[in-house]
Chains A and B, each alone.
Chain A
């Protein structure tokens, strides 16, 4: 069953605006990851945040993690048309359990 649930399911913004996507999960985690999928392609890893971290940056990406609320957010600043894609969160549990992916957020950036 899905562990992470992204919100919103779809998001449409203008180029230059910021895009925020949220992920909620149910059980304790070791880490949380975000992936991007361009149409018709495989998923590409964006960023990993560990359970003892609260915020992480990578270029125009900012990820936060609130383990008390079991939630994470992905912020893409100054969005570009090339950021149009689906974004998935994936949670890594403790022990030897594989990543579990959410259903994704479809982001459309309009030029």
Chain B
């Protein structure tokens, strides 16, 4: 077990709705990253938060947004859901020093989102 927990484990939404996914980081970690993993593909980097500020973003539209809280837990929000948003969403926490990218990321088991 990595100590990273995600909720819910499964979620079904309809097109156009909004969704919030949650992640609780491993104790002592100050950084959280979110990934989208479509079926049969590798995870795609959505964005990363370091000490409550966005520390980088992948090629995802603005309707994908996030928050990191003072206790370093995090939320991923997706507005105006589309069918292609159906995927496994993974959260990973790490402890970055000076925004280094070399640190190990610890992944949660993910939230499987189905958009109908």
**Do A and B come from the same complex?**
no
Residue numbers of B with Cβ under 8 A of A are none
Residue numbers of A with Cβ under 8 A of B are none
